[in-house]
């Protein structure tokens, strides 16, 4: 099991010379998901050598420009590269109507299908699922309807102990049955304890993306215990009034959410362009939650 997150953009509304607007690429169980698509996202995908053809799902938290302005160019590029496989975009219902005239004008001969999947903002919803991964949307608190996303690996089947195969002369059908939870009866007629037969399965990894949002404690039960949490920290706590008014959070508030949700690691991002020295965000957050990192563009986090 593995999870790899690449930060394509870490800034808020105004990009800078070294910080693009919000976009991330998440690879979990060999699936590639694009999360938000701020301006310059496709340039950052190229810089990080991401194979465009592996991106089949795009998740857009909300319809503010700094999270979607890179989408139209990326859609066009996919077409120019000869894409044939459909592309699913999970977003607010308004997006399809907003893009329709642009697609008709600039991409009339698009060689692939775009599937729009509407997000819901009233409660958590499972919006993607396959054999290995689930993706759930959760409501956030911003100035417009906004979702966070939780990506979870499904639990894997435990592996059989090699010494158990030799000791009990296990056949392939017996191994399959044991791995699927069926009891194995030894020569003495009693069940063999599972821990003597199986190695513990690796703990499934999980990633929660929470941007943009006010300090919103209702998300805590939904992100409880995730391996990695990205939570916006647009401002330092001295501007908590401005943060609340503009629908954003401070570094201290993000750290409080991480602490109370018992997450493994916290990533801070979506910084206001007023800040040049981002180390102060880490200092503020570490007063509340120890395992915190301040993201920067092109950083990769692997679990």
Residue 228: per-residue pLDDT: 98
The low-confidence residues of the chain, meaning pLDDT below 50, are none
Q: Which of 18, 36, 66, 277 is catalytic?
A: 66
CB 236 within 8 A of CB 250: yes
- pTM listed for this prediction: 0.91
Which runs of E-coded beta strand occur in 29-103?
Answer: 31-37, 55-59, 87-91
Report domain 3-156+202-302's class: alpha beta
Q: Rounded to an integer, what distance in angstroms lies between the CA atom of residue 159 and that of residue 156?
A: 9
Residue 1: per-residue pLDDT: 66
Longest alpha-carbon distance in the chain: 76
- Backbone φ, ψ for residue 78 (5° rounding): -55, -45
Residue 196: per-residue pLDDT: 81
Which runs of E-coded beta strand occur in the chain?
Answer: 3-9, 23-28, 31-37, 55-59, 87-91, 114-118, 125-129, 133-139, 147-153, 159-160, 198-199, 206-210, 228-232, 265-269, 292-294, 300-302
Residue 198: per-residue pLDDT: 84
Residue 110: per-residue pLDDT: 96
Q: Rounded to an integer, what distance in angstroms lies between the CA atom of residue 30 and that of residue 4?
A: 9
Domain locations along the chain: 3-156+202-302, 159-199
Is 260 annotated in the active site? Answer: no
Q: Rounded to an integer, what distance in angstroms lies between the CA atom of residue 20 and that of residue 13?
A: 9
């Amino acid at each position: 099991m593995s999870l790899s997150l690449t930060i394509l953009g870490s800034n808020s509304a105004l990009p800078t010379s070294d910080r693009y607007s919000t976009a991330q690429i998440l690879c979990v169980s060999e699936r590639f998901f694009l999360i938000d698509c701020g301006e310059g996202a496709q340039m950052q995908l190229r810089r990080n050598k991401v194979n465009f053809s592996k991106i089949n799902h795009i998740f857009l938290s909300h319809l503010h420009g700094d999270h979607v302005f890179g989408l139209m160019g990326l859609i066009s590029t996919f077409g120019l590269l000869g894409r044939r496989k459909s592309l699913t975009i999970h977003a607010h219902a308004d997006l399809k109507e907003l893009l329709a005239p642009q697609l008709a004008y600039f991409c009339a001969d698009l060689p692939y299908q775009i599937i729009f999947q509407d997000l819901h903002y009233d409660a958590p919803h499972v919006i993607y699922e396959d054999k290995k991964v689930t993706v759930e949307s959760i409501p956030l608190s911003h100035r417009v309807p906004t979702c966070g996303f939780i990506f979870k690996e499904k639990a894997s089947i435990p592996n059989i102990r090699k010494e158990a195969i030799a000791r009990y002369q296990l056949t392939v059908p017996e191994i399959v049955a044991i791995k699927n939870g069926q009891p194995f009866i030894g020569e003495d007629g009693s069940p063999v304890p599972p821990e003597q037969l199986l190695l513990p399965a690796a703990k499934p990894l999980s990633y929660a993306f929470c941007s943009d949002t006010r300090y919103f404690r209702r998300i805590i039960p939904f992100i409880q215990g995730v391996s990695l949490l990205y939570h916006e920290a647009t401002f330092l706590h001295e501007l908590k009034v401005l943060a609340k008014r503009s629908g954003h959070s401070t570094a201290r508030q993000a750290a409080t959410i991480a602490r109370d949700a018992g997450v493994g690691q916290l990533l801070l991002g979506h910084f206001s362009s007023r800040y040049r020295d981002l180390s102060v965000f880490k200092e503020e957050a570490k007063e509340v939650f120890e395992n915190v990192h301040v993201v920067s563009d092109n950083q990769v986090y692997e679990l």
